[in-house]
A and B are shown apart, each in its own frame.
Chain A
Amino acid sequence: MFIDFDRFRYELRLMGKRVILTPILIMIGYLLFAILLRSLKVDPPRFLSSSLEMILPLATAIIVSMTTSQDPAIEVQLTVPRKYHQTVLGRLIIIACWTACIALLSSIVLFATKLDFIPQPITASWNAPQVFFTGLLTWLGPLFWFVGVSFCLGLLVRSRSANAAILSGIWIVEILLKDYFAVTNWLHPVFLFPTTLLPLAGPIPQTYFDLWLSSRLEIIATGLILLPIGWLLLHNPEGLLKGAGEE
């Protein structure tokens, strides 16, 4: 087991309340802004969808890059019986799972209040659970992908700021070149935010839905493949020690 309860408590205390509070504060901020939009007669579902699909994954990735790629006590960490890669993986799981919990809770609230933004094939008549679980794929994909990329990139680049900058660049390029991503087949497996940007919500043609679904699954798979790669990168004590001095 990567993390027992005591360890979990210590890791939470080490990372601080900021890691726990950040996703909550983001969602509260989005909720307040959505209320403002409603008062301005702007429909908020697409805006709220962006919080789950685009904003939370980026914030989580930047936090992951900050907390997993370096440790102020790395020299000590490498001497203790518990392997450092287990500690980092534990941290990664805590951060990703916590964000996923907040996103899941937000999805339930949005679904219950009919503020969801979920695509479904026009030919199918789905029941509520099918629509809800499909909706989870909108943010699960980008979350896994960003966490996986941030984890590996942080260990390769060995600079938290450079890692955050590159993730930000990917994020903004996905937005600016959304039309190019949509019409270019080879970019579909890295088209992270199609639901909000295109937008794809409600009944859509079966072909579009299939493309959307396959790209979600490919993105989740990419994120999952990157985790063991990052795990292997953590087995390089020399690289970890060098990384501590490269900022």
Chain B
Amino acid sequence: MKQLPIFFGVLRYEFRMQIHRRALWFAILCFIILFVIRGPGAIFHELITNIYDIPMVPLIATWTSQVNTFLPIAVGVLLADRLWRDKRTKVDELFSTMPGSLSTRLLGKYLGSTLATLLPIFLFYSFGIGFIYYKFQNPIIIPVALATFAAIILPGILFISAFSIACPTIIWLPLYQFLFVGYWFWGNLLSPRNGIPTLSNTILTPYGGYMSTGFFGAPFSMAGATPLEGTASILLLLSITMLVMYLLWGLLRWQQARQ
């Protein structure tokens, strides 16, 4: 049986399953409420009035970086129970008797649930882009916004999603969720000036500072970053993503062989 239709079937089903979770929408809504805690509309007011006093493209990149500062935490935590759930409900054994290969199911699950979790974030992101559009009234904003989303948010989300799908197969789920939150702060937001060794300010940051400044000139993300460093950051994040998914596939195959 051809694997491509199975892949799209799994992707579609995982997408629908995740998008219909009320917990997903509720958790991300809570994140957004926390995001705007400084006052309802304050952050959007900043976009309309452009308090940063920067041109249009860096402003879009700045908004993208703001969204990418802490909404990925919700993605990582909410995706962590996807594979674990299959084990808990014992459907993983049932799946292994079906014609779809393990790699196809794994890839479909990974992409389907990741895209579904991204959707509410994309809607919130688009809301902010709407305010920037209102200020500049320039249609070029839409392709630029899509490009910043694809270059700044997407590689990091794919990176953390791979870990969130994979790690709970070997780490206790709540422990992984806790470690992931700690990692996000330590590896993305903690300034190296504190003296604590950190991955922040390296190209291995899913926060996307190198892409934000390197490609789009956002002034607050990573001062002095070049497009080359932005490209290196994307390639590194995607390479590690593929490696993690490959290792997960190998681990699950090994676990199946042992049964």
Contacts and interface: CB of A to CB of B under 8 A. Distances in A.
A213 B57 CA distance: 46
Contacts of B69: 176
A20 interface: no
Choose among B28, B35, B181 the residue with the greatest number of A CB atoms under 10 Å from its CB: B181
A109 interface: no
A172 B186 CA distance: 11
A172 B73 contact: yes
Interface of A is mostly: helix
Nearest to B32: A169
Contacts of A160: 81, 173-174
A159 B23 contact: yes
A172 B70 contact: yes
Contacts of B24: 162
Interface residues of A, number: 36
Given A40-B197, A176-B69, A169 B37 contact: no
B74 interface: yes
Interface string B4-45: 000000000000000001111011101100110110000000
B67 interface: no
A40 B195 CA distance: 8
Interface of B is mostly: helix
A47 B37 contact: no
B5 to A, nearest CB: 28
A143 to B, nearest CB: 14
Nearest to B28: A165
Choose among A36, A37, A172 the residue with the greatest number of B CB atoms under 10 Å from its CB: A172
Interface stretch (A3-11, A54-62, A132-140, A200-208): A54-62
Choose among A41, A158, A161, A247 the residue with the greatest number of B CB atoms under 10 Å from its CB: A161
A78 B244 CA distance: 42
B196 interface: yes
Contacts of A169: 27, 30-31, 34, 70, 73-74
B184 A172 contact: yes
Contact of B31 (A37, A41, A66, A165): A165
Given A157-B26, A165-B31, A177-B37, A66 B181 contact: no
Contacts of A157: 23, 26-27
Interface of A: 18, 22, 36-37, 40-42, 47, 55, 58-59, 62-63, 65-66, 157-162, 164-166, 168-173, 175-177, 180, 246-247
6 contacts: A42-B194, A65-B174, A159-B26, A159-B27, A161-B23, A247-B81
